[in-house]
């Protein structure tokens, strides 16, 4: 599920959706990842820190992420495999998205 984030209430709603998905998902359920999804997850696990989209693209050998990469990031977040946060930043939109692989213990307790 993709939500356009343009205000704080919408951001809170998105985080509620993510948290709800984490509570309802189980590690016993098989999560099928595409090759690209596996690559993104592996890159974030190797990074071991918060990574913005530009850095993630560079790690993947790209100049920028495409829209399907962003969809994968949202789906990985909803599945509880990665965490996402919006960080204030100077620029046209005023923020950037950052991602990191979820702590495996956190995922198991979800």
pLDDT tens digits, one per residue of 2-57? 444 445 545 444 454 444 444 444 443 456 889 999 999 999 999 999 999 999 99
Place of tokens 């998902």: 25
| Domain-located, residue 47 | yes
Residue 83: closest CA among 35, 21, 33, 29: 21
Does the pTM of the predicted model rise above 0.75?
A: no
Instruction: Please give the residue range of the domain that contains residue 74.
Output: 8-109
CATH code where residue 16 lies: 1.10.10.10
Specify which residues 98 forms β-bridges with.
Answer: 52, 85
Average pLDDT over residues 59-80: 96
Total number of domains in the chain:
1
What gap in Å lies between CA 17 and CA 12, rounded to an integer?
9
């Amino acid at each position: 599920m993709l939500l356009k984030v343009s205000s704080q209430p919408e951001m809170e709603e998105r985080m509620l959706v993510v948290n709800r998905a984490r509570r309802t998902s189980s590690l016993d359920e098989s999560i099928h990842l595409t090759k690209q999804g596996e690559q993104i997850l592996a890159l974030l696990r190797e990074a071991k820190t918060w990574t913005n989209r530009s850095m993630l693209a560079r790690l993947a050998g790209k100049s920028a992420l495409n829209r399907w990469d962003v969809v994968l990031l949202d789906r990985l977040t909803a599945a509880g495999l990665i965490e996402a946060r919006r960080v204030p930043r100077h620029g046209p939109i005023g923020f950037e998205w950052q991602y990191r692989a979820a702590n495996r213990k956190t995922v198991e307790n979800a």
